[in-house]
């Protein structure tokens, strides 16, 4: 019932491509620091190394944690935790942050396709407001040097789905090269819009590539509005005219999934939100894992909702290991339909 028939039958592995970044997540007591540095609340803004250092200096007394990050990286990390097969393409440097990145992915049995640069591994400074909204000032570093020429067919071989983070769309040649190779290798393509300001700045490009190459689109309310000019439910229908599977995430109000003429409403689980970092990323983990396992879309959506509800209860984009263990029974119940 409501299964996504485009799901790969032989190749269930999911390949993510994105900005390989270390997340430096900092709790702020009010939003004055956002205003000081011109960071629109809830957005991702690119900054240079100097501004990145100034933000960290301004918040040096605030509590913080450091994790591997990047939207697509968070998604494949969640897929790996669910027991799915996945890989990741990104560019890093052989430095402290880069080595931390490689070790984390190896520990989680994620196949890596890393390219290297001397620029320095990128890092995203995530400022978490008291209402749990997060705002990123991102220094891309080596991540921005991933090139179209590096998108070789052999990287994509053996995967069933390519998942692209929207933050990459500013590099039009890279995205188009990855899309063309993925399609030539028979992969489905999924894209997460990532941030409303990125959508606004690349609207014509996004509209074209979605119609030409993309099978699955994830967008939150703001991104859906930015992409279509319509409110979330109308935006869902507009996006579904551009691709096979449209998904609009509504935060605490759940999510909407449209495939063909069918619209599925997925409820959010009750959660005490501390930090929304990674909620959309790990929601995509649940949905894509479900699709790769040929689960119907309601089950896939419920997996995504469960994971999103758990990640907002902690700081950062990673569900703690002990919570994953606690969730295993619930995950299995969703998969068998109870």
Condensed to tens digits (0 to 9), the pLDDT of residues 249-285 reads 999 999 999 999 999 999 999 999 888 888 999 999 9
**Spatial distance between the Cα atoms of 175 and 157, rounded to a whole number of angstroms:** 17
pTM over 0.75: yes
What residues of the chain score a pLDDT lower than 70?
Answer: 1-3, 5-11, 338
pLDDT for the residue numbered 43: 86
How is residue 195 annotated by DSSP?
Answer: -
- 24: Cβ–Cβ under 8 A, 6 or more apart, which residues? 56, 64, 66, 123, 124, 125, 126
Contacts 24+ apart (CB under 8 A), 266-271: 266/298, 266/301, 266/302, 266/304, 266/305, 267/305, 268/305, 268/308, 268/309, 269/305, 269/306, 269/309, 269/310, 270/309, 271/309, 271/310, 271/312, 271/313
pLDDT for the residue numbered 2: 65
Start-end of H helices in 108-202: 153-156, 172-184, 196-201
pLDDT for the residue numbered 6: 59
- Classify the phi-psi angles of 132: left when phi > 0, otherwise alpha if psi is within -120 to 50, otherwise beta: left
Domain ranges for the chain: 14-20+70-121+145-336
pLDDT for the residue numbered 134: 87
- What would the CATH number be for the domain defined by 14-20+70-121+145-336? 3.40.1190.20
pLDDT for the residue numbered 206: 97
């Amino acid at each position: 019932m409501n299964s996504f028939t485009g799901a790969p039958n032989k190749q269930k592995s999911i390949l993510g491509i994105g900005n390989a970044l270390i997340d430096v997540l900092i709790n702020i007591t009010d939003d004055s620091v956002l205003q000081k540095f011109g960071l629109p609340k809830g957005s991702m803004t690119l900054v240079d190394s100097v501004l990145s250092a100034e933000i960290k200096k301004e918040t040096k007394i605030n509590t913080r944690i450091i994790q591997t990050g990047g939207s697509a990286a968070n998604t494949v990390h969640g897929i790996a935790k669910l027991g799915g097969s996945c890989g990741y393409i990104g560019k890093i440097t052989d430095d402290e942050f880069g080595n931390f990145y490689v070790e984390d992915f190896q520990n989680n049995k994620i196949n890596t396709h890393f390219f290297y640069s001397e620029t320095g591994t990128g890092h995203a400074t995530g400022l978490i407001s008291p209402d749990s909204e997060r705002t990123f000032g991102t220094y891309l570093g080596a991540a921005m040097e991933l090139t179209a020429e590096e998108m070789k067919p052999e990287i994509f071989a053996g995967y069933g789905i390519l998942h692209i983070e929207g933050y990459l769309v500013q590099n039009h040649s890279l995205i188009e090269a990855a899309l063309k190779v993925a399609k030539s290798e028979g992969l489905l393509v999924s894209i997460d819009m990532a941030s409303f300001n990125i959508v606004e700045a690349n609207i014509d490009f996004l509209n074209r590539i979605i119609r030409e190459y993309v099978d699955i689109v994830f967008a939150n309310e703001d991104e859906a509005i930015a992409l279509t000019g319509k409110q979330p439910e109308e935006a869902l229908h507009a996006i579904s005219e551009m691709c096979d599977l449209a998904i609009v995430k509504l935060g605490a109000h759940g999510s909407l999934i449209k495939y063909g003429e069918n619209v599925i409403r997925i409820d959010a689980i009750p959660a005490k939100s501390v930090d929304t970092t990674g909620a959309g990323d790990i929601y995509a983990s649940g949905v894509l894992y479900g699709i790769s396992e040929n689960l119907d879309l309601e089950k896939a959506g419920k997996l995504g909702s469960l994971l999103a509800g758990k990640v907002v209860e902690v700081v950062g984009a990673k569900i703690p290991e002990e919570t994953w263990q606690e969730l295993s029974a619930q995950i299995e119940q969703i998969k068998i339909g109870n």
